[in-house]
Structure 1
Amino acid sequence: MRGIRKAGGRQEEIKRPKRGDTMLLSGLTIYAEDRLIENGYLVIDGGKIAAIGEGEPNDAGRYGRHVRFDGKHKLIPGMIDIHIHGAAGADTMDATPDALMTIAKALPKEGTTSFLATTITQKPEAIESALENVRTYMDDQPAGAAEVLGVHLEGPFINAAKAGAQPIEYIKSGDPDLFERWQKRSGDRIKVVTLAPEIDRGMELVKRLRDLGIVASIGHSAASFAEVTEAVRAGARHVTHLYNGMNGLHHRHPGVVGAAFLHEELFAEMIVDGVHISPEAVDIAYRLKGKDRIILITDAMRAKGLDDGTYDLGGQAVHVKDGVATLSGGQLAGSVLKMDQALRNMMRFTGADLADVIQMGAINPAIQIGVYDRKGSIREGKDADLVVLNERDEPVLTLCNGTVAYDRHKAS
């Protein structure tokens, strides 16, 4: 399969790696799935990880390309952002292949190699167009860009009292049959659904999602602790952007946050930008949930990577100033957070190390959406979704399925 991208006003063809198309990376500290390898090497063949070892292989000269590093760089698996609306001026709800391509080409710079295209509460026709566009795009994705792994359907089955930046006029009660129609429109691409279990037919929808093997995520919800517990029993296994868009922790009413802390079944997303959650609250969640049950997300909107200004999100004007995105009424409206910054913030706020944030940014999302057999860690046979970090934990080279998608030294 081949991908087409626009470059310098012309169409540039990027071929996907085939068996025999090889690359050798060496002189790296490798954060492999089962061990840490100092002064390690990794071989890529046909877009897959073919070999991992120490030093350099004896046949180093036979590979199509050899990139040597100085021993100070680190090789980690690519991050998986399972909650992102847009970047670089594009949004999933634009419902065009160019919009998804724009997002997919922008993300490798921050170390993200795959993602779930995330929708927002909108009129049904707009959601359906976005779903159909993802289905079409995924059938022929471009090489040299982050891979779309499916859809995160955020809304419209949420609680208006916790709408946040979700347009209230398009909110719906739980409707399992409508969801199934949308899932068919998407070509079975919906992987996560954010919903409020306490709304009319909300629990019924949770059960239907469980039966279909789709992640039911509690978010934009005013559920009580008891209602979240009921939802967990019904099959809920995820919490959308912990602390935001939900009842907070009160000493007599633990709410969604308290339930997220106590129910080990629940993975909890976090937007670690220092705005959506204070550093102290991030640390509290980390101590209670641990690295195995937190998933780092950006929840980014189209302004990510662009200057301050006014942008659109779900038909609403979003004002971005000094890295904070808000509606006219002051509500937070997604973020402009980049994933590499989320990793560094998480380490700074909590004392977690790089291996811990790899767990939260790559392994956990891969496990949660069922792609850990091919993504989320560095192991022979998996997709060559890889990120080289410098001494400041900044991405300098990103490969998506074995193709260079970002090279800091060549980036303009």
Structure 2
Amino acid sequence: MRNLFLLNATIVLEDSILQQGFIHIKADKIESVGEMANCPSFSDADQVFDCTGKQYAMPGMIDIHVHGAAGYDFMDGSHEAFEGIAMALAKEGTTSFLATTITNPIEHIAVTLKSLENYCAQSSGLGVAEMLGIHLEGPFINKKQKGAQPESAIIPPNSKVFREWQELSGNTIKIITFAPELDNQFELLAELKKTGVIASMGHTNASYGETMDAIDHGVSHATHLFNGMKGMHHRDPGVVGAALLHDDVHVEIIPDGIHFHPDLLKLIVKMKGLENVLAITDGMRAKGMPDGEYDLGGQQVTVREGTCVLSASGSLAGSIVTMNQARLNLTKWLNLSIHEQIQITSVNQAKRLGLSGRKGSIKAGKDADIVVLGRDGEVELTICRGSIAYERIGAFV
């Protein structure tokens, strides 16, 4: 078995910070963690990284809502696209993710889901960010809140179609974003609850009353809070009001400084607590690419100076923020400690997906998903399940 060592590292553990520590990785798991004085011996055949002068060794980040990166989109449906995205995400400190679809003709969605299932079955997940499953965003959404989702392909919630898609995906759909007010007698919601898929309200025009009813029937998640949903009004608190007020609802946020005013984060955290907030990127294929024109779900998107909009309408169309930049933004706007940063970018996601037994923290026996940060908080090394997925040139000499 291959061995990998991080030495002289400042390690962010679950409830403490270990100075001058080591991490021993064997195969795809963390074998041991401790003080340098107790570091096991290693040979020239082992991979060794001296982390002297680095800021932190922390758990890899988890992006549960990302459509693409590096010129690729999951809707491209090819192994090349999937692998290209997984490699690009590792560069930003993301070690695992949910491949996120977009509203499209049902035949195209079906082909994409099958392709993703094949990728999951064939990929070792080593050396690239690991695909943990699928986030199905659309097509069961409200046209009035479509945002950048193609209106022509929107259809009413349909439990039969969902069952077919879940079978095609090899039961890898973990979250579904839909408009619960259009779900007749909550038929789809009942199916999601029965199969353990997270029901997320998004691209929805539900009233406050309709939203609270949906929450009572099992909705427990809000997709990119504030965006693609009815906002707060003093006579109708809307979807946003219901999501903030209900303790059982987890909320996604896109911390790019574009999708909502940064000061609203203070309101979110006061209402929800950090434990119910999950940072996402909602990244599209333009992430990591130059400004220009790009495709999203068959629509042209213009990317200029960090903002992505539909060329035809000007509606926001995803983002190009990285998970690490999202972490840095949150830290600046909320004055977060390193443990709070990890909670909102990794711990909460692992818990939400039922994977906290192997993801979300640095601990012996867990997956070796680790990010080493430089002095300015930049990603210098990303380890995905024990294999080097990214090393910044010149960071380790």
Please indicate the TM-score interval, normalised by the length of the shorter structure. over 0.9
Q: Return 201-210 or 345-354, whichever deviates more.
A: 201-210
Structure 1 residues 54 and 170: alpha-carbon distance in aligned structure 2, compared to 1, 3 A threshold: same
Match status 1:48 vs 2:29: yes
Q: In structure 1, give the amino acid aligned to 2:12.
A: Y
Match status 1:192 vs 2:189: no
Q: In structure 2, give the amino acid aligned to 1:192.
A: I
Give 2:345's aligned residue.
361
CA distance in 1, matches of 2:329, 2:386: 28
CA distance in 2, matches of 1:61, 1:149: 32
CA distance in 2, matches of 1:175, 1:72: 51
3-state DSSP of counterpart to 2:205: coil
Matches within 5 A, 1:2-401: 20-62=1-43, 64-142=46-124, 143-201=126-184, 203-328=186-311, 329-401=313-385
Task: Say whether the 8 Å CA contact 2:54–2:372 is kept in structure 1.
Answer: no
Q: In structure 1, give the amino acid aligned to 2:2.
A: D
Shift of 1:203: 2.2
Task: Say whether the 8 Å CA contact 1:155–1:195 is kept in structure 2.
Answer: yes
Give 1:9's aligned residue.
none
CA distance in 1, matches of 2:37, 2:100: 41
Query: For the aligned residues, what is the CA RMSD?
Result: 1.4
Shift of 1:286: 2.0
Q: In structure 1, give the amino acid aligned to 2:342.
A: I
1:254-310 per-residue CA deviation (whole Å, 9 max, x = no partner) reads 111111111111110000000001111122212221210000000010000000000
CA distance in 2, matches of 1:357, 1:199: 36
CA distance in 2, matches of 1:200, 1:110: 37
Match status 1:409 vs 2:390: no
Shift of 1:31: 1.1
CA distance in 1, matches of 2:302, 2:269: 30
Shift of 1:58: 4.5
Greater relative contact order (Cα < 8 A, sep 6+): 2
Shift of 1:200: 4.0
1:202-248 per-residue CA deviation (whole Å, 9 max, x = no partner) reads 72211210110000001001112222211112111110000000011
Q: TM-score, normalised to structure 1's length? A: 0.93
CA distance in 1, matches of 2:122, 2:79: 10
Q: In structure 1, give the amino acid aligned to 2:249.
A: L
* Number of aligned residue pairs: 392
Q: TM-score, normalised to structure 2's length? A: 0.96
Task: Say whether the 8 Å CA contact 1:84–1:115 is kept in structure 2.
Answer: yes
3-state DSSP of counterpart to 1:301: coil
Shift of 1:351: 1.5
Shift of 1:407: 0.3
Percentage identity across paired residues of the two chains: 45
After the TM superposition, which parts of structure 1 deviate over 6 Å for at least 4 consecutive aligned residues? none
In structure 2, the gaps of 5 or more residues are none
In structure 1, the gaps of 5 or more residues are 1-19
3-state DSSP of counterpart to 1:60: coil
3-state DSSP of counterpart to 1:40: strand
